[in-house]
Structure 1
Amino acid sequence: MAEYRAIKAGIDAGQIGTVAVQRFSRSGSAPQTPWFFSERAGGGLIRDLMIHDIDQALWFAGPVASVYAVQNPPTIDDHVPVPVSSHVVLTHRSGVISHIHGSWVATGMPFRTSVEVAGSDGRLRHDSAEEQAHRTDAVLDTASTDYLPPMSAEQSPYFTEIADFVAALAGGREASVTPRDGIEAVAVAEAAYASIALGAPVALTPSEAEEAIR
Structure 2
Amino acid sequence: MGVKDINVAVIGAGRAGLIHAHNFRKSVPYARLAAVVDPNRAAAERAAKELGVETWYGDYREALRDDGIDAVVVVTPTIYHRDIVVDAARAGKHVLCEKPMAMNAEECEAMIEAAKDAKVNLQIAFMRRFDASFQEAKARLDAGEIGEPVLIRSLTRGPSTPQPWMYDLKKSNGPLAEVNSHDIDTLRWFSGAEFAEVYAIAGNYRCPEAAETYPDFYDNVLLTARFDDGRQGVIDGALSVQYGYDSRVEILGTEGVIFIGQLHEKTIVTARRNKEITRPFMNSWRHLYKDAYLAEDIDFVQSILEQRSPKVTGRDGMMAVKVVEAGNRSIRESAVIRLS
TM over 0.5: yes
1:68 is matched with 199
TM-score scaled by structure 1? Answer: 0.81
Residues 1-214 of structure 1 correspond to what in structure 2 (within 5 A)?
A: 1-61=131-191, 62-73=193-204, 76=211, 77-79=213-215, 84-106=219-241, 109-129=243-263, 132=267, 135=279, 137=281, 147-152=284-289, 156-205=291-340
In structure 2, the CA distance between the partners of 1:150 and 1:53, relative to structure 1 (3 Å rule), is: farther
Larger gyration radius, structure 1 or structure 2:
2
Contact between 1:68 and 1:200, CA under 8 Å: does it hold in 2?
yes
What is the DSSP-based 3-state SS (H/G/I as helix, E as strand, rest coil) of the residue aligned with 1:156?
helix
Aligned residues: 194
Matched AA of 1:95:
G
2:90 is matched with none
TM-score scaled by structure 2? Answer: 0.53
- Aligned mates of 1:40, 1:71 — CA distance in 2: 17
- Aligned mates of 1:57, 1:157 — CA distance in 2: 18
What is the DSSP-based 3-state SS (H/G/I as helix, E as strand, rest coil) of the residue aligned with 2:147?
coil
In structure 2, the CA distance between the partners of 1:31 and 1:175, relative to structure 1 (3 Å rule), is: farther
Which deviations, in whole Å up to 9, do the C-alpha atoms of 1:49-104 show, x marking residues without a partner? Answer: 0111001101111101101101023885535667x311011111121111110110
In structure 2, the CA distance between the partners of 1:32 and 1:194, relative to structure 1 (3 Å rule), is: closer
Contact between 1:114 and 1:126, CA under 8 Å: does it hold in 2?
yes
In structure 2, the CA distance between the partners of 1:189 and 1:81, relative to structure 1 (3 Å rule), is: closer
What is the deviation of 1:33?
Answer: 2.5
Unaligned runs of 5+ in 1: 139-145, 206-214
Matched AA of 1:135:
R
- Aligned mates of 2:259, 2:297 — CA distance in 1: 25
- Aligned mates of 2:240, 2:161 — CA distance in 1: 10
Which stretch shows the higher mean deviation, 61-70 or 122-131?
Answer: 122-131
